[in-house]
Homo-oligomer: A and B are copies of this chain.
Amino acid sequence: GRTVKLAVVAGDGIGTEVVEQGLAVLEAAVAGSDVTFGTTELDLGARRWHATGETLTDEDLATIRRHDAILLGAIGDPGVPSGVLERGLLLRLRFELDHYVNLRPGRLYPGVRSPLAEPGEIDFVVVREGTEGPYVGNGGAIRVGTPHEVANEVSVNTAFGVERVVRDAFARAQARPRKHLTLVHKHNVLVHAGHLWRRTVERVNADFPDVTTDYLHVDAATIFMTTNPSRFDVIVTDNLFGDIITDQAAAICGGIGLAASGNINPDRTSPSMFEPVHGSAPDIAGQGKADPTATVLSVSMLLAHLGLDDAAGRVERAVAADLAERGARVRSTAEVGADLAARVRG
């Protein structure tokens, strides 16, 4: 039997509620197999910060590194100044653990109502770069609070960083029926970064000759997300553009209550992290109203990353079946979780 060591960061607000259900579904998915999950709960997030002023200590990080994967709920509450937990915890994890592939599927499941009048079939995946771009924290300000303040933010892009994520995206495109990759950037304005991305896609394409490619400026990408999302297969893009278009993608696919993500280190030099795209939603926390589906789909991605494709498939099919029959029924977080676990058990 194989034991998988899972670090669990339930976090704040609805994070704890959805993670509880995610773990229940995970258990159901491996029950009866020779795989066991051993979980370590880490106390990270707003609660800890309020109590101790700590975001992520070196010791926390060392503990996390001793695990095979991470399941994260959501982080933050309105009492923490903006940026403290984002930069100090969430992004720090992505950077320290070198999660250079931020994988975000955009799929409209049958039965789910899209806000688009004619959504068509939507089934793409965004490969968002996770360790560079405007997210590097390479900014600063002078004369803060005076009429002469200047605040800069630097987007850093390297050949190394761009190539590895582009390669990953090509490989994913090659493994899909349509074998198509769209680069999203803004190379007519951000000429230096944009041309690096463009040249890299052109060059790496030689190693994946059966993958077709095209290019969209990020502004045009938001138009196609609205008018013709079926055109997308795999999208590769910068950290910030990826942040923006994946929220839009979640919206057209039925909302962030359904949007899963994986912060992946494809080289497996450190644990990858799976989390719903939504936040801690303090307005509905503690009421059992949160939809755990995005977390459960993130669990499916986690299982696939660990090579447990069977279990991953069963979890995703359980979600698909649940969504197909969901209709307008209102269920609690625990009810949805229990229904999904029951479907996984079969």
Contacts and interface: CB of A to CB of B under 8 A. Distances in A.
A226 B244 contact: no
Interface string A144-156: 1111111111111
B196 A135 contact: no
Interface stretch (A44-52, A168-176, A246-254): A246-254
A162 B193 CA distance: 25
Contact of A82 (B117, B191, B251): B191
B115 A188 contact: no
A288 B343 CA distance: 57
In the complex, which of the residues A115, A188, A189, A198 has the most CB atoms of chain B within 10 Å of its own CB atom?
A: A189
A86 B149 contact: no
A189 B86 contact: yes
Contact of A115 (B82, B152, B227): B227
A191 B150 CA distance: 13
B189 A83 contact: yes
A144 B191 CA distance: 12
Interface of A: 82-83, 86-87, 91, 114-118, 134-135, 139-141, 143-160, 163, 186-196, 198-199, 218-220, 222-223, 225-227, 240, 243-248, 250-252, 255-256
Contact of A250 (B157, B218, B223): B223
Contact of A151 (B91, B118, B147, B196): B196
Contact of A255 (B86, B151, B225, B227): B227
A193 B219 CA distance: 21
Copies of this chain, tallied across the complex = 2
A155 B157 contact: no
Given A118-B115, A159-B149, A244 B227 contact: no
Given A116-B116, A155-B152, A189-B91, A194 B82 contact: yes
Nearest to A118: B115
B134 A155 contact: yes
A146 B156 CA distance: 16
A245 B220 CA distance: 10
Contacts of A86: 188-189
B151 A154 contact: no
B114 A153 contact: no
Contacts of A154: 152-155
A179 to B, nearest CB: 24
A82 to B, nearest CB: 5
Given A148-B160, A218-B243, 19 more contacts: A82-B187, A82-B188, A82-B195, A83-B189, A83-B191, A83-B195, A86-B188, A115-B227, A135-B189, A141-B195, A145-B199, A148-B158, A150-B156, A152-B154, A153-B193, A219-B247, A220-B247, A223-B250, A244-B244
Contacts of A250: 223
Given A150-B157, A157-B151, A251-B223, A134 B191 contact: no
Contacts of A147: 159-160, 163
B115 A190 contact: no
A91 B145 CA distance: 29
